Structure 1
Amino acid sequence: MDPLEGRVSRTAVWTGADIEMREVPVPALCDGDVLVRVRLATVCGSDLHTVSGRRCGPVPSVLGHEGVGEIVAVGPHATSDVGERVVWSVTRVCHECDRCRSGRTAKCRSVTKVGHEPFTGPWPLSGTYSEYIVLPAGTELVPVPDLLPDVVAAPAACATATAAAVIDAAGYLEGRRVVVCGAGMLGVTAVAMCVEVGAEVAVLDVDARRTAWAERFGAVADEGGPVDVALDFSGSSEAIAALVPRLDIGGRLVLAGSVAPAAAVPVDPEAVVRGWLTISGVHNYEPRHLREAVAFLTRTVAVHPWAELVDAPVPLDVLGEVLHGGPGLRAAVAP
């Protein structure tokens, strides 16, 4: 008898207008699948954009892609163990297409994503705003050390791992002048990562409260002037346009916040050529970045006040109340 037969998951389904609580049957697990009980989920800004209409997505769907949970069942040939506490990648990839083989699994040709799939499709329990989530074969899972609290581990799957990918793209940072534009959860995390490797970090944000958070993690307020590296998490065309002229010879600009349509940014190609400038983008991340994220949080859990960045969790039933933002950098839900 299938041990999951008859089991249901209390799940918050986004209908395009509001959140509807449903009891969803837990499916039989296929080869390599893992069933996780979600212990804590944090609310990424992209979900706030979805419910506010700034970001398109399938309707209905189960939102949420940052979370930490405990494995409660595994399908045949799964390599994880029941009882493990884990975080998981946003992307589920094939590992076989040309992009995966070249090291760009983030852009797998058949990628599917946690919290981004249609509820009426083959993967209904795909989001973290749910009592249970099914993680299909091909989803990266990373065990969470005991010393890392749920509230610190949950953002690893998006904010921390994406920041790690941005730092990777930025190159060598020790002793370099870095400006971080946009001090949300990703920006503050990037500040801490840059500080750890010995960069001189300034922060730029229109919200004084967020700037203050970044300063607690090691940044100083930006005063303008040339920089070696600029990291943009704001997605603001105006802010990006102001960053490019500040890049010194050999400077790098890494864009991670531009995930929605915005005004074009003028770039002087002669300045790029004469300045040996590099402008690159990061969207999603590679499995190694999730592993690096967990390792980084483990190293710094006693150094930085990570837990203070996340609001007290609310029950799943009142998810709608925090899908419009909260006082902290991350709202949280305890399914």
Structure 2
Amino acid sequence: MQQMRTGRRAVLVEPNKPLEIWESPVDPPTGADVLVAVEMAGVCGTDYHFYLGEVPMPGPMVLGHEGIGRVVECGPEATTDSAGNPLAKGDRVYWVPLKPCHRCHACTVLEDTSLCPNQSPGRFRDPRLTPFATYTDFALLPNGMTFFKVPEDTPSEAVIAFGCAMPTVLHAMERLGQIRFGDRVLVQGAGPVGLAATLVASLSGAGEVVVIGAPASRLDMAKRLGATSTIDLDVHATSADRIAAAREIMDGGADIVIEAAGKLAAFGEGTQLVARGGRYLIVGLWSAPGTTMLEPRKINNDNVRIIGSALSRPRHIFKTIQLAQRYHTQLPLTEVVSHRFGLEDAQSAIEAVGRHEPIKAVIQPGMEA
């Protein structure tokens, strides 16, 4: 008889309380489920917002929604990844644990799974069961969840560097529309979402890519990924200073402003930096509650378009792997991963991200704390 596996998981029992490490049995996969041993779990700013209680929790939950791991066991009906590639024990896979229902208006009529109201990761997370969250030793990827094989010539770090940020940005860029050659692009925020937006804007032919953010390590990485100029929040501490600096660099305003700061105050600042006829893409405010003032007259008279975008669709997860495979030898994608923590030290990882210390932090369950 096969010995029952057990696995650890980092559990947020309630907001603002230290994560707890729970250990429990790991059920074998059935049907089309796939059991994966987690190698790297990206630490996202949203995890920190869960920790603070700024995002509603369904109860005790296993954190983590960015994962790379090796297939341990496949259910009898699991023969391929989500792109139809043959799947076997030992294959490395990448997933962002969203599971659309494919039985709602958004999924079937709008054909936009990012709007599915039934795919919230929290409703599937239960510390007593094998989860598909990623702050774990093992993750169970259920039938219907998107995951893709990572080519063996592509480092895990190059994919997890942007975690869920790159799929989110690729989806947002589709909603934005084409970045025209020579466009002036301003990115608010230098975390993983901002860095992903910087990279994609640069690769799309933008003439200028200006990044507002901090600390200096993130701004240095932004330049290495294609930013032409940066504005340091630690130097330009007031909104008026940042607006003046950006307008000077961009000759009055940006053709495209991308909000990737995750801070409510960034929205009002961004609306002032969009040039006439420009576009403002909102990507980072998913977990930032609250309201803010807006002058509709400026939006109206300057013909400004405001585009919201949340989450991603399966193809954007696939394209993230393609981007990493194509550019990891030319660009410092692997170096975006700046901090590594063991699973037992997940609390320290969350706190470090809250202090904006890492460019990108990952949890590696096999690493000694």
TM-score, scaled to structure 2:
0.83
Q: Tell me the CA shift for residue 206 of structure 1.
A: 4.9
- Among residues 328, 331, 342, which one is paired with 1:301 in the alignment? 328
Amino acid at match of 1:8: T
- Tell me whether 1:52 sits opposite 2:52 in the alignment: yes
Judge conservation of contact 1:52–1:324 (CA < 8 Å) in 2: no
Match of 1:20 in 2: 20
Match of 1:252 in 2: 279
- Percent sequence identity is 30
Compare 62-71 and 45-54 and name the one that shifted more.
45-54
Match of 2:111 in 1: 103
Whole-angstrom distance in 1 between the partners of 2:212 and 2:341? 31
Q: Closer, same or farther in 2 for the Cα pair 1:299/1:262, shift >3 Å?
A: same
Match of 2:304 in 1: 277
Match of 1:330 in 2: 360
- Among residues 165, 182, 186, which one is paired with 2:171 in the alignment? 165
Judge conservation of contact 1:252–1:277 (CA < 8 Å) in 2: yes
Judge conservation of contact 2:187–2:211 (CA < 8 Å) in 1: yes
Judge conservation of contact 2:162–2:193 (CA < 8 Å) in 1: no
Q: Tell me the CA shift for residue 256 of structure 1.
A: 1.3
Judge conservation of contact 1:39–1:70 (CA < 8 Å) in 2: yes
Judge conservation of contact 2:159–2:320 (CA < 8 Å) in 1: no
Whole-angstrom distance in 2 between the partners of 1:130 and 1:242? 39
SS in 2 for 1:56: coil
Judge conservation of contact 1:235–1:259 (CA < 8 Å) in 2: yes
Q: Closer, same or farther in 2 for the Cα pair 1:257/1:312, shift >3 Å?
A: closer
SS in 2 for 1:229: strand
Whole-angstrom distance in 2 between the partners of 1:206 and 1:88? 28
Structure 2 unaligned residues grouped into runs of 5+:
81-86, 232-245
Whole-angstrom distance in 2 between the partners of 1:39 and 1:103? 33
Match of 1:191 in 2: 198
Match of 1:128 in 2: 134
Q: Deviations over 1:188-212 (max 9, x none)?
A: 1110111111112111125444323
- Tell me whether 1:226 sits opposite 2:253 in the alignment: yes
Whole-angstrom distance in 1 between the partners of 2:101 and 2:307? 25
Q: Closer, same or farther in 2 for the Cα pair 1:48/1:238, shift >3 Å?
A: closer
Whole-angstrom distance in 2 between the partners of 1:10 and 1:229? 44
Structure 1 segment 8-157 matched on structure 2, within 5 A: 8-16=6-14, 17-80=17-80, 81-82=87-88, 83-101=90-108, 102-113=110-121, 117-119=124-126, 124-157=130-163
Cα RMSD after superposing both structures: 2.2
Q: Tell me the CA shift for residue 124 of structure 1.
A: 4.3
Match of 1:238 in 2: 265
Q: Deviations over 1:102-155 (max 9, x none)?
A: 222112132142x7744257x542311111001111111111111221222224
Q: Tell me the CA shift for residue 261 of structure 1.
A: 4.3
Q: Tell me the CA shift for residue 170 of structure 1.
A: 2.2
SS in 1 for 2:344: helix
Judge conservation of contact 1:106–1:285 (CA < 8 Å) in 2: yes
**How many equivalent pairs are there?**
331
Compare 158-167 and 177-186 and name the one that shifted more.
158-167
Q: Which runs of 4+ in 1 moved over 6 A?
A: none
